[in-house]
Structure formats: structure tokens, C-alpha cells
Structure 1
Amino acid sequence: MAEKEEGAEVTAKVEEFEELRPLLFSIAYRILGSVSEAEDAVQETWLRYEATTAEPTSTKAYLSAVVTRLSIDVLRSARVRREQYVGQWLPEPLLTDPYEDPERSAELADSVSMAALLLLERLSPLERAVFVLREVFAFGFPEVASAVGRSEAACRQLAVRARRHMDAGRPRFEADRQERDRLAARFFDALREGDVDCLQELLAADVSLVGDGGGKAPQLARAINGADNVARLLAAFFPWLAKVEVSMEPHDVNGQPGAIFRDRDGKVLYALALDVLDGQIQTIRSVINPDKLGHVGTVADAWAIDREIRQARRPRR
């Protein structure tokens, strides 16, 4: 009888945890900007929950606090690594946010965009955690204070500072999703065709093209700025991808229009995400660092594809 009761308790724990897993992952990812680190934090949260004999008043509050503290600890050590990162650091691309709230879907998509995650990088780990819990997931200040181990008054101050930083640096993205998606479709058509004029029309005058290879894949030496420069570079390069059988699969990336590029064997070459504002593309970000793509699928050899393109572009004698 005791064994049956114990088994039922474990089953109930598993069910409660699995119900909350999407929320826990979404909290951890927004704090960390890394799919793999967020998944590790969620797994460690389960191990701690499984081991505890205490009965939390609120399972949601308890698990959210655990995953938040774990994420803060990971972020503190990750910040040192990011300072030594080769080239531009970008978040790991997220194709699907598991936490769904239809009434706040646009707000949640905005909070997971690469632009928002890069702004969050400017905050201290505590500010970042407080902002995510309070502003994104609408936790009450008592829950936030418990999660980060600070007083409610301190958390209110952290929230004010975090909001000030975020509001100062973040323009709102297009509210009209259909218009945004139509613009993205035109952009990807122009990309396939190498149509410089169409690309220039779709790009903001001060558009930026940023790549993240982490020193482990071919990457831009620096950001490319300006509609003319970016359009010409894209039009000169992307048609060659098709010639070496690289395919482009339009897909939302971090809640914004984007695409996944795959080699002829279906392996992931890189992810590309667009920031759209006022009917134009403001920023194009591509993640090609293989360490950041494993969760999307088997990763392609970007160096081999680069060599193949260079070979194909050589003039024939």
C-alpha cells in the first residue's frame, strides 16, 4: 500500500512539473538567451523538485523560483564567456516558444525577439530576472522577491531600472502580423532572385546585417550597415547558396519573421531573423555558430559549403 501511495505521489509530481515545463523553459530562455542552457536549468529544477520532501504552497511559484535562481547563477558565469566571445554574440535561435498565452501572444513574441534579448544583455542578472518575471510573465512582487532572494522594495527598484533601460532602447515591432509577414515574403523572394532594387526598397536606410559565427564558422568580420551596402552584399551572395543546393525554409525565429537554411542533406546551415518596423526591415541577424544550432537539427559543415561556393564562383578558363 505504501509503495502504491509513493508511486502515485511521484506520478502527480511528474504531471505537475510537465504542465509547468513550458513556463519554466520560457523563463529560463529569456534570462539566458540560450536554448541548451535553459533546458539544462529546467532539468536541474526537476531534479531538485523530485528530491524535495517539502510540500510547496504553490508549485508554480516554487518551481519558477528554482529555475530563476539557477538561471541567474548560469548567467553570471556566462557573461564572462560572452565578453571573450569571437565576433558578435547573438542568442541561440528559438523556433517555437512552448509557453502559450493567446491574450498576450504579441507581447510574448516581442519579449523573445533577438532585439529584446540583446537589450536584456545590458541588464544585471538580477534586473534581468526581475524584468522577465514581472514584466513578461506578470508575477506579483511577493513571488518575484521570493524567486530572486531580495525584498519587495528592492525588486520594485530593480523593475523600474530594468524597464527604463528596455524602454529607452527598444522600438516596438510591427503590430500587424500579416503586413509584416508579407514584407518578409517579398524579402525572401528578392533574396532568392538576387534582386538588388527590390531589396533596397524593403530595407531601412540604416539597416544592419549582423552575423554570429563565434569563430567556428564563416562569418562577417563586422556588421554591414546601410541599405545599399546590405542589398548588394545579399544579392551577390545568396543566389550562390541555391547553386550549391542550399535551401531556404521560411520560419519564425524568436517570434519574428525568419528562415532556416539547410544544405542538400537537410542539415542546418544557419538561422536568419528579421526585425521589421514601420514597413521596413531594420536589422538582419544570422546565427551560423554550430554550437547554437544543434537543437534545430543536425548541423551542416559551414566551412565545406563556403569552400564549395568559392570554388563555384571561380571564373572558368
Structure 2
Amino acid sequence: MDRTKNEEFEELRPLLFSIAYRILGSVTEAEDAVQETWLRYTASPTPPASTKSFLSAVVTRISIDVLRSARVRREEYVGPWFPEPLLTDPYQDPERAAELADSLSMAALLLLERLSPLERAVFVLRDVFGFGFGEVAAAVGRSEAACRQLAVRARRHMDAGRPRFEARRTEREELAGRFLDAFRDGDVDGLRELLAADVQMVGDGGGKAPQFGSRIIGTENVVRVLDWSVSRFARIGGVMEPHQVNGQPGAIVRDRDGKVLSTWALDILDGRIQTIRAVNNPDKLGHVGVVADAWAAFHEATAPDRPAD
């Protein structure tokens, strides 16, 4: 194996994964796309003029093909579909850290779902990662003029529903910490004051994990569910571990053995939590850690109290 080729690929791996994940919304599929890119790179007989452009083009084409087939599966998905939660974006650019984090959010990735695979790829390459239209055109196999039109359409869709978040990341983190503390302590009033009037709580169980409902809307409805959950959560020794989820404040939900039950991602704006997105589908949590048996935990949490002897 050419040591230089291997080193160049490993240096670009974080970028390639980040491109693939934003196109696919799946950690496992993005990792597979990067691995397939490596195989094609090693099979290439001549070195490319630009390794970055070549590899980015290859991983983009692979991701577009995977996304086209994945869309059929998502149309048949049980309940709301969310991306697989990503705890850490491996691609680091300190000058654009906040922008990259916002493009990684659950809200932004769900907006990207509205785009065609080509529009999505063009938007990710051009607007998120700043590739020139020449590189974008080579990656998606379209003319530069066509890519400019794809970019215009993609931006129009994205701008129409672009998520807004609290400007200061420290304020988001502080409010999320207060929310998780209030949940842990069963502080109903504390929870209520942190939620927006039209707050939504949405869960992705894929038909494979317990759900409170596909979508719960309004402060009192969400507080009622959270309040009910607190005591049940304590029964299974549950832990809410604060963690960034898709670039936003959130938590990993674990059982008493440290196994993963869920991830929560919080959208925060104007000093209030606007949306709580929970990924409960065990098929989407394997890369986070050892996955708990969610149904067993649910049955334990909701079992009738035993009468005293």
C-alpha cells in the first residue's frame, strides 16, 4: 500500500464523512460510503490532480446513489423519521464551527430531506463546505450552469424553513443544563418555564421502541409527559447524560447499566426550548454505545407497584 496515498486519505476522511453524513443522514451509511470511496481510490491507476476534489466527488456520487434507494425505505418508515444522531462531527474548522454545527442539526437535516438527491448534494458541497461550482459540477455529473440552478432551488427550499437557534452557544448550553436538571429533579414548574408555548416533543421509534405519540404539542401537554416520565425513569435507574447531539444541546439517555435508550436533541430559541427530538429506534443507536432493550425498560418502568408486605 502506498503510504502517502493512505496518509492523504486519512487526512481527508473527516471531510468525506461529514459530506456523506449530511447527504445521507445516516452514520452507518456515511461510514460505508467513505469505505467504498477508499476502495475506489486504491483501485485508481493514476493519481488525481487534486486528491480532495477527487475523493469528495467520489463520496458524493456514492452518497447520491445510496440516498436514492434510501428514499423508498423512508417513505415506508413507521412514524416520524429522524437522522441517526451524531455526537461529534469529525470535520473541524474553527472559523466556521458554529455554521457547520447548525448545518448538522436535526432541523437542518430534516429540511434537506425535502430536496432531491442532486439538490441536496449541490447544497452540501457548495453552501456548507464551500466547493467551487466547477468542483460541484464534476462531483454530481452536471454542468456548472445546471449546478447553479440546483443551488438556487435548494437555497429557496432551505431558506423557507431554515432553523433558527439561540445566537450564543453558551446560552443554549446553559438553558439545556437547566432543563436536564429540572427533569432529573422532577421540577415541573422549572420544566414549564423553559418550554416555548408551542413546544413540540417528537420521537423516532421506527416501530421498534415505545413511543408517547408521534408528536406532542404545547407546553402543558409536553410538561404532562415529562412529569409522568420522571418517576418511571427513576425506576429503571435512568440517567440523562448531557451531550451535544447533531451540534445542538441534548442528552444521551441511559439505563442503570449505562446502555443507551435514546438520544434527545433540543432546539433552543429566545430563551425557550422549541423542540425536543428523541431518537428511540435501536437500529439508529448502535454507534452511540451498547443499546438497551427499550421494551424491557418500558415494562419495568410502568409495572404496577407491588403491595407492601
Aligned to 2:248, the other structure's residue is in SS state coil
- Are residue 81 (structure 1) and residue 98 (structure 2) matched? no
- Are residue 231 (structure 1) and residue 226 (structure 2) matched? no
User: What count of residue pairs does the alignment treat as equivalent?
Assistant: 308
Match of 2:29 in 1: 37
1:111-160 CA-to-partner distances (Å, cap 9, x unmatched) read 00000000000000000000000000000000000000000001001101
Residue segments in structure 2 that go unaligned for 5+ positions in a row? none
CA contact (8 A) 1:92 1:292 kept: yes
1:273-302 CA-to-partner distances (Å, cap 9, x unmatched) read 000111111100000101000001111000
Match of 1:108 in 2: 100
Match of 1:11 in 2: 3
For the residues of structure 2 that align with 1:173 and 1:189, how far apart are their CA atoms? 21
For the residues of structure 2 that align with 1:237 and 1:168, how far apart are their CA atoms? 35
- Are residue 316 (structure 1) and residue 278 (structure 2) matched? no
1:315 CA displacement: 6.6
| Residue identity matched to 1:33 | G
For the residues of structure 1 that align with 2:26 and 2:214, how far apart are their CA atoms? 22
Q: Which of the residues 270, 280, 285 maps onto 1:293?
A: 285
1:239 CA displacement: 3.3
- Are residue 23 (structure 1) and residue 15 (structure 2) matched? yes
- Are residue 65 (structure 1) and residue 57 (structure 2) matched? yes
- Are residue 196 (structure 1) and residue 188 (structure 2) matched? yes
CA contact (8 A) 2:209 2:295 kept: yes
| Residue identity matched to 1:148 | V
1:53-108 CA-to-partner distances (Å, cap 9, x unmatched) read 12100000000000000000000000000000001100000000000000000000
CA contact (8 A) 1:194 1:236 kept: no
1:145-192 CA-to-partner distances (Å, cap 9, x unmatched) read 000000000100110111111111013211211111111011001111
1:194-213 CA-to-partner distances (Å, cap 9, x unmatched) read 22221111111111000011
Match of 1:171 in 2: 163
1:242 CA displacement: 2.2
For the residues of structure 1 that align with 2:188 and 2:256, how far apart are their CA atoms? 26
Match of 2:146 in 1: 154
Structural RMSD (CA):
1.1
Match of 1:47 in 2: 39
CA contact (8 A) 2:26 2:83 kept: yes
| Residue identity matched to 1:51 | A
TM-score, length-scaled by structure 1: 0.95
Q: Which of the residues 173, 183, 200 maps onto 1:181?
A: 173
Match of 2:83 in 1: 91
| Residue identity matched to 2:107 | A
TM-score, length-scaled by structure 2: 0.98
Match of 1:252 in 2: 244
Match of 1:3 in 2: none
Residue segments in structure 1 that go unaligned for 5+ positions in a row? 1-6
